[in-house]
Amino acid sequence: MAVIDGKWCRMESEEMPYSDLSFGIKMEKLLHKEISKYQEIIVFKSQLFGNVLVLDGIVQVAELDEFVYHEMMANLPLNCHPDAKRVLIVGGGDGGVAREILKHPSVEKVVVCEIDEKVVDVCKKYFPKLAESFSDVRTELVIGDGIEYMKDQSSAFDVIITDPQDKIGIAEGLHNEGYYNSMKRALKPNGLICSEGKDMYFELSFVKRLMTFSRKLFPKVAYGYAVTPSYAPGHIGFLLCSTNPNTSFKEPLKTLTENEMKERKLKYYSSDIHRACFILPNHIKEDLYPDGNLQQ
Amino acid sequence: MAVIDGKWCRMESEEMPYSDLSFGIKMEKLLHKEISKYQEIIVFKSQLFGNVLVLDGIVQVAELDEFVYHEMMANLPLNCHPDAKRVLIVGGGDGGVAREILKHPSVEKVVVCEIDEKVVDVCKKYFPKLAESFSDVRTELVIGDGIEYMKDQSSAFDVIITDPQDKIGIAEGLHNEGYYNSMKRALKPNGLICSEGKDMYFELSFVKRLMTFSRKLFPKVAYGYAVTPSYAPGHIGFLLCSTNPNTSFKEPLKTLTENEMKERKLKYYSSDIHRACFILPNHIKEDLYPDGNLQQ
């Protein structure tokens, strides 16, 4: 849970590794605080980060750098797919990933399946630039459990993006082999998935577990990362899997021109950043790719 | 200053942007606390980060990831220089950068000029793996003011590395044109420098200022970064300048084989990471390289 302490909002989770970290941001104003059916929801305004959304004591969205995570979650998979028309986002109730998905001309339909309606309501109010994606005619918002929703889908989506609440306890069902199996079934031929992949320092063993079972299900699996000052370790990972053995995550199928980047208002993502995000520090690479880079 | 609050050590600086951030690490044990002539020095033991050195409320060294910063500060410049024999480190009283410099076979002499003897003493005691570099016969430790030391040098070093205390107030003299001019004079022909370059989100305008005056003095200037969970924004920058117009920072002159990386026990740095560290997010690139990439 977050601790409001005078001018500070301190993110202090009970969950390892975050139980050993306290990440405080000075508030200008507390804007919202409630306990929904699923979690504690806090929004505050700050000088350094702009408006900040905190769920169960972990920063989820900060205006300062929300574009980093959202651009990468959308552009990494979509630029590795030849022609993504139907995209499913599980979680993502803030609308940020959907916003970036909708910038891709091939996309005809985006389904956002968010379990907590309160997150959507709060984001519409305090993060209108993210939640604007919900008013696009191509977007369908489903309030429900992504795990159950996934079980009913078969060959329905070109790309599935899992953008869970960070706290593993609540989102546990989105990080296991059963769920990845459901995603695989829900994909059209040559489909691919992108999941929030945790950080590579404190949660390396968790990432390793994700990659181990993903490799049993998908012929191509890769881990990349991006720099995000508003998340406590300062970076966030992305796990990508493809049912198409010819997919190369390291080399995007679609590269963007300077003009396309400007039109799509991309502040973080570029084709060079795409390639660079998969270049991992030595010690991480050895751990995550024990047999070399064959599967990327 | 750091705030010791029960089991937490909270890094709370009075200096913007850190005055709006509180980065707390759960302590297992407070190992050392003193006010030296120059700064507040704290060392504590933690489960997540190992031993941590905090100067004036800003984390300087954590065992978890100290190698990231130290490997990059040493390897970025040394692998862009054809044959660095004499290296000067200003600051760096923990010995970490010197340790990485000494792994390069061309190096004959390393001078470490640290203003605060207490930092060296504390690091010898609590960070022996870093401070071991001081017992190498090639290392000369000078306790003194780096700015004054630099004024007396002329064509004396192939590479100069500035590894200051983070707090800008104390290390202010290491971030201005006069000091960069002294460094230029202290370099041998075709020499180059590497300075700690702040983060690229909160301190972008500061980085921009550094690059603007550096470009007046050096024909080649570049900014790269590395992921460092123990520094509050989660990454740290490096500013590189060369007096040799043929230097290409983006493409190292010396690439390392797998064997060389193993022999030198490099956990973060590789030739691929070297190249990738200069690939900046779109919005940062536009700000730092307004005329394109001509000068890198």
- Can you give the pLDDT at residue B30? 97
Over range B135-151, report the average pLDDT: 97
State how far the Cα of B294 lies from the Cα of B296, in Å rounded to an integer.
6
Based on the domain organization, do A163 and A266 belong to the same domain? Answer: yes
Return the minimum-mean-pLDDT range out of A118-127, A283-292, B10-19, B286-295. Answer: B286-295
Identify which of B249, B251, B261, B224 has the alpha carbon closest to the alpha carbon of residue B239. Answer: B224
Are B64 and B50 spatial neighbours (Cβ–Cβ below 8 Å)?
yes
Q: Which of A43, A62, A81 is the last residue of a domain?
A: A62
pLDDT at B185 exceeding the cut of 60: yes
Closest Cα of chain B to A150: distance in Å?
34
A166 is catalytic: no
Amino acid occupying residue A280? L
Q: Which of A19, A35, A62 is the last residue of a domain?
A: A62
Based on the domain organization, do B94 and B235 belong to the same domain? Answer: yes
- Which of B94, B163, B166, B199 is flagged as catalytic? B163
A123 in a structural domain: yes
A262 in a structural domain: yes
- Can you give the pLDDT at residue A59? 93
Which of the residues in chain A have pLDDT under 50?
none
Based on the domain organization, do A221 and A274 belong to the same domain? Answer: yes
User: What's the number of domains chain B is made of?
Assistant: 2
State how far the Cα of A189 lies from the Cα of A72, in Å rounded to an integer.
23
Based on the domain organization, do A122 and A54 belong to the same domain? Answer: no
Task: Say how many Å lie between the first and final Cα of chain A, rounded.
Answer: 37
Q: Do the chains contact at A24 and B25, CB–CB below 8 Å? A: no
Residue of B nearest to A16 (CA): B48
Over range B42-58, report the average pLDDT: 95
Candidates B233, B268, B279; nearest CB to A272: B279
Candidates A20, A261, A272; nearest CB to B25: A20
**CB burial class (10 A; 0-12, 13-18, 19+) of residue B1?**
middle
List C-alpha distances in Å: A2 to A14, A58, B7: 10, 7, 17
List C-alpha distances in Å: A43 to A50, A198, B245, B247: 10, 22, 50, 48
B151 in a structural domain: yes
A294 in a structural domain: no
Which chain B residues are closer than 8 Å to A68 by Cβ?
Answer: 281
A253 in a structural domain: yes
- Can you give the pLDDT at residue A17? 79
- Can you give the pLDDT at residue A117? 97
A57 in a structural domain: yes
Which chain B residues are closer than 8 Å to A64 by Cβ?
Answer: 201
Based on the domain organization, do B120 and B261 belong to the same domain? Answer: yes
pLDDT at B171 exceeding the cut of 80: no
- Can you give the pLDDT at residue B293? 60
Q: Which of A35, A62, A89 is the last residue of a domain?
A: A62
Based on the domain organization, do B57 and B79 belong to the same domain? Answer: no
State how far the Cα of A155 lies from the Cα of A42, in Å rounded to an integer.
37
Q: What does the pLDDT look like over B238-278, one tens digit per residue? A: 999 999 999 999 999 999 999 999 999 999 999 999 999 99
Q: Do the chains contact at A269 and B283, CB–CB below 8 Å? A: no
Based on the domain organization, do B108 and B198 belong to the same domain? Answer: yes
* Average confidence score pLDDT of chain B: 94
* Band of residue B295 on the pLDDT scale cut at 50, 70, 90: low
Based on the domain organization, do A201 and A254 belong to the same domain? Answer: yes
pLDDT at B142 exceeding the cut of 60: yes
- Which of A94, A163, A166, A199 is flagged as catalytic? A163
Based on the domain organization, do A258 and A112 belong to the same domain? Answer: yes
Report the CATH number at residue B31.
Answer: 2.30.140.10
Based on the domain organization, do A28 and A96 belong to the same domain? Answer: no
* Band of residue B67 on the pLDDT scale cut at 50, 70, 90: very high
A108 in a structural domain: yes
Structural domain that includes position B262? 66-288
Report the CATH number at residue A114.
Answer: 3.40.50.150
Based on the domain organization, do B246 and B208 belong to the same domain? Answer: yes
Which chain B residues are closer than 8 Å to A48 by Cβ?
Answer: 17, 20-21, 202
Residues 6+ apart with CB under 8 A from A157: A86, A87, A88, A111, A186, A187, A188, A191
Based on the domain organization, do B23 and B144 belong to the same domain? Answer: no
Interface predicted TM-score (ipTM): 0.94
B296 in a structural domain: no
Residue of B nearest to A64 (CA): B201
